[in-house]
Amino acid sequence: MQKAMTLPVESEEVRGVSVAGLVRGGGILAIIVGASTVLLPVIHPHSPQSAAWVPVHVASFAALIGLLLVLVGIFARQMPRAGKLGVAGFLAAFVGTAMIVMEGREHIFSPDFGAGVPLGLWELVLASFVFSVGYTLLGASIARAGVLPRGAGVLLAVSGPVVAFSPPIGIPAVIIVSHTIFGVGLTWVGYALWSGEKTRKGIVE
């Protein structure tokens, strides 16, 4: 008799690691990233010469890296019901966030940032566009799938494009409000991932 095959996920569960556990961990990370997204624009220094410039941008850099991991948790949680829209949203949001990470690294140790037109302006515009499309699709997939809170999906879909393009626009009120909405959406998703919150469709781990 042929020996039954064991899936990798099953073997990991035996060793004490499960997909559900990873998703809950992603939920905690989403709460942290969401809170950081709300806070960082408020404490962002106005001058690149400020002593807070590097620490704040390092924190922003770390939050974006954390966001990449959160996207994996969201994808894993709603994958069975999100369909092609969920896959497209995850891929576009992941790539867009990664592009923002690449673009943002230039700001950490750049005392001349903000003087004149940045050399990477078109790269910034492209990254912002992909980020916008990604979170619009991701938010729509969350709202449609109903595995995670629909309202959180709406917040991400609406605020994602504004978050992406608000730094180039440079209006402080727009930056703070858009990042607050985006952060609240992430925190809401994070709580649902962490708690295994039931939805209207009754989907639980």
pLDDT of residue 202: 42
Give the number of C-alpha atoms closer than 13 A to the C-alpha of residue 102, restricted to the C-beta side: 14
Q: What is the pLDDT of residues 151-172, one digit of tens each?
A: 999 999 999 999 988 876 768 8
Share of the chain above pLDDT 90, in %: 47
Question: Whole-angstrom Cα distance, residue 158 to residue 33?
Answer: 18
| DSSP per position, the chain | -PPPP--HHHHHHHTT--HHHHHHHHHHHHHHHHHHHHHHHHH--SSTTSTTHHHHHHHHHHHHHHHHHHHHHHHHHHHHHHHHHHHHHHHHHHHHHHHHHHHHGGGTT-TTTTSSS-TTHHHHHHHHHHHHHHHHHHHHHHHHH-SS-HHHHHHHHHHHHHHHHHHHHT-HHHHHHHHHHHHHHHHHHHHHHHHT---TT----
Give the number of C-alpha atoms closer than 13 A to the C-alpha of residue 37, restricted to the C-beta side: 28
pLDDT of residue 100: 87
Handedness of CA 167, 172, 174, 177 (dihedral sign): positive
Question: Whole-angstrom Cα distance, residue 186 to residue 156?
Answer: 7
Domain range list for the chain: 19-111+118-195
Which of 51-65, 111-125, 183-197 reaches the highest mean pLDDT? 183-197
Provide the pLDDT confidence category of residue 57 given band limits of 50, 70 and 90.
confident
pLDDT(62) > 50: yes
Burial class (CB in 10 A: 0-12, 13-18, 19+), 45: middle
